[in-house]
Amino acid sequence: MGSDYIIKNATVVSVDKDIGTVSNCDVLIEKGVIAAVGPDLQYSSKPIVIDGTNAIVSPGFIDTHRHTWQTQLRTIGSDYVLSDYILNLRQIYGASYTVHDAYLGNYCGALDSIDNGITYLIDHSHIINSPEHADAAIKGLQDAKIRATFCYAMYPNPHWEGSCMDKEREEKTPDWRLHDTKRVAEKFFKSSQPGDLLRMGFALSEPDLTPFDRLVQEIDYARSIGCKVITGHFNFGKWDPGNCIIRQFGQRGLLGSDLLLSHGNTLRDDELEFIAKHGCGISSTPDTELQMGMSHPVAFKAKDRGCSASLGVDVCCSAPADMFAQMRLLLQAQRHLEHEAADSAPLKMSRSCEEVLEIATMGGAKAVGLEKVIGSITPGKRADLLVTRCDAPRLVPAHDPIGTLVLYANGSDIDTVMINGEIVKSGGKLTNVDWPNLREELRASVAAIVS
């Protein structure tokens, strides 16, 4: 374990109901854990001092839905609807990825996340063109030192002349991915403790395109090999064919707190009840949902019904790894929805910045079953936190620290990022990364994929 730290004289936005938001507050980090939070802390260790004057300490963001491998395809889908995305990303570009492309996509995507204050990622990895792709994607996350759950996806990219797919393997052993998850679990995820930086997860075959019995088989198998999160795409608005799969899961006794449902925009009321009852997580991705005709994000509605609602970035081809943007989109879209539904002009704000910050941090931790480990500035939790400096012209003054984070700040304001008590961004720069060299390597990978 590395150094101990004390952040002195900061404004702490704890997202812990018992601590709240405290000005002129210290945060002590010992052995990777938040040891104490309060004014003028006394300590016997010799921590490194970080000045928190004019800065906000807050929990790292938790992104509960990302296809991290797509980092090389940024901006390609800026004007896509969902069908464009499926055709181009999941039929063409994905099948063009080599093992090294998968590594670089995940490594650079995780670094970009850290730069923007995302300290935990659900990597829904549907780039497993070969077993080596799985290993490379995991190594990318490991090398970036991000906290993540690697969700091994069953999706087979199509093989075509010149693609990076092994046609023979796909045709002779179409089920190889399901069995390869066991190899990956044994190779990388033997420890399986809640505080581990990397954990094993599973991403289902597309639920609306898969026979129900196959989904049941996948869930049972994922649980049998110890996957901590089982995720999938469900109920996305106008694309929802009405199968009500969550209702069927509920009736068959398949729901559990290990299930994480991405989108869920058109979940029926009884399905939300099932989700709340069984403690499943929901990941809203406002950027893609609002762009691609997937209907209004369900997060607030789900939260109102007692579900663990969280936020995700989703695709990289049209959405930056930016949880500030996701918070803003979600909050203002919800405010708009509720204002429009009212009979007269609004005299009271129904949704607060505090509520959406909670969704982006503790909500995410609950959705992935790590609420006792991360998600808030709480003594005893792992030290996954951000120090945001309020020095930029945009951030002076910062009367309301939560409003500052939700409505004004961006990644460039984040001075320090700590994951598991280790500093991974400092002085506004990623640590231990030779970005100019890495950038050229990434550009070469982009050129090969696009060609």
The footprint of Zn ion (CB under 5 A) covers: 314
- Closer to Zn ion at the Cβ: 20 or 158? 158
- Closer to Zn ion at the Cβ: 236 or 274? 236
Residue type, 95: A
Nearest distance from C-beta of residue 67 to Zn ion, angstroms? 6
Nearest distance from C-beta of residue 127 to Zn ion, angstroms? 12
Q: Which of 129, 134, 130 is nearest to 150 (CA)?
A: 134
Nearest distance from C-beta of residue 65 to Zn ion, angstroms? 6
> Vertex 367, ends 113 and 431: CA angle to 5°?
20
Residue nearest to Zn ion (CB): 314
Contacts with 337 (C-beta within 8 Å, 6 or more apart), sequence order = 296
- Closer to Zn ion at the Cβ: 271 or 314? 314
- Closer to Zn ion at the Cβ: 124 or 381? 124
Nearest distance from C-beta of residue 238 to Zn ion, angstroms? 16
- Backbone Cα Rg of the chain: 21
Nearest distance from C-beta of residue 323 to Zn ion, angstroms? 16
Nearest distance from C-beta of residue 315 to Zn ion, angstroms? 6
Q: Which residues pair with residue 29 across a beta bridge?
A: 5, 34
- Closer to Zn ion at the Cβ: 239 or 249? 239
- Closer to Zn ion at the Cβ: 125 or 388? 125
Structure tokens at 278: 């069984």
- Closer to Zn ion at the Cβ: 22 or 215? 215
- Closer to Zn ion at the Cβ: 89 or 244? 89
Nearest distance from C-beta of residue 126 to Zn ion, angstroms? 8
